[in-house]
Amino acid sequence: MSQAEELSTTSSSSEAIASESHSTDLTKHPTSEVSSETLLLYKNFWFRRQFVDRIKLLQVRFKARHDDIIIATNPKCGTTWLKALAFTITNRSRYDFSNHPLLTRHPQELVKTIDVEIPLNGDLTSIETLPSPRILATHMPFSLLPESIGIHGCRILYICRDPKDAFVSRWHFTNEVFTEKTDINVAFNKCCEGISDFGPFWDHCLEYWKESTGKPDRVLFLKYEDMMLEPVKFVKTLASFLGGPFSHEEEDAGVVEEVVRLCSFKTLSSLNNSETDVVERGYLAVKKSAYFRRGKVGDWVNHISDEMGRKLDYIVEEKLKGSGLVF
Ligand code: A3P
């Protein structure tokens, strides 16, 4: 059974039942109100409480396999795209482009985000029964990944994005998903203080950046903007990093371009444009179309002022100074 088929049999129904037993005591952590939920500071990063609970669970129970592929991202930096690409590249000998799982399944359904989707009762059956090589996604900071990922030397794909576009994308997504709307200025000020889901944004990037510079065979650090400019080049890079470079025959037959086309914003957004179809994400049912908004570089200019843009750029530059990472 393929990973896509395996995933369709999983359920999150037991989640609510067990939430108390692993729940994190809010009074023991600094908290901040952002949009409709309270974020709490846990080991230098801000999370909704249920993510802290899941991270703790995963640290204890997750058993990595040496051939696991981990997709790690700050939210709204291109997770959906990278899921589609990694799934398509890895399974390219199994699926025909005319009958591909992505034509009927959302990338979020084909690749699980473990810290969003595992039930809080700690039952990891849905992950443990997946065939190898597993592709699993996470928003966890590098420093909080389960130890076994490091021990087994799993390959990690990390994608980041211009913080201004990531902020705007997140603001839209949050407003789409939660009933309570957030004022963009309030969210922006919190973001500048480093307070956002899985934030500070810059520390999240920096941890993976440092790991990628020290261990380039283990962590592939990607930027959304670079991939948008040269998708063919990056699809080849991804395939090589994942241990299955495209053969000359595949290149001559246009397979790389087919992968780019199938996983493009244009294709995936048109396949997932229903206003009623949802994808189950842990405790939320999210409209499939919510993962495909504009798919543009630089859309921030349409939502925040130049002054706000300069402010965030300045903060990020200061935080990343000396690291070699620039946006
Ligand atoms: P915008 O809100 O700027 O349009 P994530 O997948 O991490 O949640 O990120 C979502 C962002 O990636 C959204 O950005 C979305 O439109 C964009 N996106 C989704 N699929 C994409 C694809 N195939 N190619 C490029 N961008 C994509």
CB 90 within 8 A of CB 111: no
Atom in ligand 1 nearest the alpha carbon of residue 292:
16
Ligand 1 pocket mutation, candidates 160, 169, 198, 273, criterion most atoms within 8 A of CB = 169
Mean pLDDT of 8-25: 42
CA of 294 from ligand 1 middle (Å) equals 7
Q: How confident is the model at residue 26 (pLDDT cuts 50, 70, 90)?
A: low
* For ligand 1, atom 20: residue with the closest CA: 81
- Catalytic member of 100, 106, 139, 204: 139
Percent of the chain with pLDDT over 90: 81
117 in ligand 1 pocket by Cβ < 6 Å? no
Tokens of 50: 């249920």
Beta strands of the chain (E only): which ranges? 31-34, 37-42, 45-48, 69-73, 112-113, 135-138, 155-160, 219-223, 278-281, 284-287
Ligand 1 pocket mutation, candidates 265, 270, 289, 302, criterion most atoms within 8 A of CB = 265
Percent of the chain with pLDDT over 70: 91
Tell me the domain boundaries of the chain.
18-320
Pairing of strands 278-281, 284-287: antiparallel
Atom in ligand 1 nearest the alpha carbon of residue 263:
23
For 122-167, write each residue's pLDDT tens digit. Answer: 899 999 999 999 999 999 999 999 999 999 999 999 999 999 999 9
* For ligand 1, atom 5: residue with the closest CA: 76
CA of 165 from ligand 1 middle (Å) equals 10
Lowest mean pLDDT among 27-41, 131-145, 171-185, 214-228: 27-41
pLDDT at 22: 53
CA 294, chain centre distance (Å): 17
What are the φ/ψ torsions at residue 222 (nearest 5 degrees)? -120, 155
Q: Is 280 helix (H, G, I), strand (E, B) or coil?
A: strand
**DSSP structure class, residue 118:** S
Determine how many CB atoms are found less than 10 A away from the CB of residue 299.
16
Atom in ligand 1 nearest the alpha carbon of residue 172:
2
Q: Which of the listed CATH numbers 1.20.1740.10, 3.90.1150.200, 3.40.50.300, 3.10.20.70 matches domain 18-320?
A: 3.40.50.300
Atom in ligand 1 nearest the alpha carbon of residue 83:
6
What is the layout of strands, in order, in the sheet containing 31-34? 31-34, 37-42, 45-48
Whether pLDDT at 10 is above 60: no
250 in ligand 1 pocket by Cβ < 6 Å? no
Is 139 among the catalytic positions? yes
Alpha-helix residue ranges (DSSP H) falling in 111-183:
114-117, 125-128, 147-151, 163-177
